Amino acid sequence: MSRKLTTTRSIAVASSALILAATFALSAAAQQAPPAAPAAGAPSPGTQAINVRKAIFTLIGSNFKPVGDVLQGRATYEAVDVPTSASRVAFLAGLLNDAFPDNSSTGDTKAKPEVWSNRADFDKRVKDFQDHSAALVQVVAREKSGSDAFKAAAVAVGQDCKGCHENYRVK
Ligand code: HEC
């Protein structure tokens, strides 16, 4: 019995020493860890940026689709919530300014290297896209129908997609 007690005690002493050591090691690690180090197995910052960019374009695509459907006669203006689609596209376009950081030029991406080597032209296309999608929001609020002004404003946005893809996206 006394032997068992001693053993229990020494286990207790040993484990509190362990806990102390572990606590110390944890706080030391917390103080020393470089702030930008990704957790083991986490995607690199470049991969994360590519994933975010693709998500933005996926949403741009799904939200512009109803507008494209109206333009191409696959849906009537009334059957689609054009104001909602237009304002979502305009919001999402605003996310593109920082969606192409330098560390995201290689990897699982269809963005051509020209995005980074022709930056001034690329940035102008992003700006045009933002301006045209903001203009579409304005026109839709005013016209409230599939008018010629709506069509012209929507076609301008569609041409921004097409023009940028032809120059800056791998087919
Ligand atoms: C300023 C340039 C630019 C404009 C404007 C633009 N895109 Fe893109 N888009 C790209 C690039 C570059 C990629 C490739 C992204 C990648 O793979 O990293 C892309 C990818 C996509 C993708 C595929 C996303 C994926 O998961 O691979 C879709 C869908 C898309 N764009 C739709 C659109 C639509 C719809 C518009 C217009 C309403 C548009 N884009 C406007 C440059 C542009």
User: What's the 161 CA to ligand 1 centre distance in angstroms?
Assistant: 7
Task: Determine the residue of 51, 57, 133, 169 to mutate for testing ligand 1's pocket, defined as the one with the most ligand atoms within 8 A of the Cβ atom.
Answer: 57
Q: Which atom of ligand 1 is nearest to the CA of 65?
A: 35
Contact 66, 80 (CB under 8 A): yes
C-alpha 89/C-alpha 56 separation (Å) is: 10
Predicted pLDDT at 63: 98
Residue 154 CA to residue 67 CA, distance in Å, equals 7
Under the banding of pLDDT at 50, 70 and 90, the label for residue 38 is low
pLDDT given at position 33: 56
Cα–Cα distance measured from residue 165 to residue 163, given in angstroms and rounded to the nearest whole number = 6
Distance 79 CA to ligand 1 centre (A): 26
Predicted local distance difference test score (pLDDT) of residue 39: 73
pLDDT digit string, tens, across residues 41-98: 899 999 999 999 999 999 999 999 999 999 999 999 999 999 999 999 999 999 999 9
Query: What is the structure's pLDDT at 153?
Result: 98
Q: Residue 53 and residue 73: Cα distance in Å, rounded?
A: 30
> Of 71, 160, 165, which is best to mutate to test ligand 1, by the most ligand atoms within 8 angstroms of its C-beta?
165
- pLDDT at residue number 51: 98
Chain-centroid distance of CA 77 in Å reads 29
**Max Cα separation, the chain?**
96
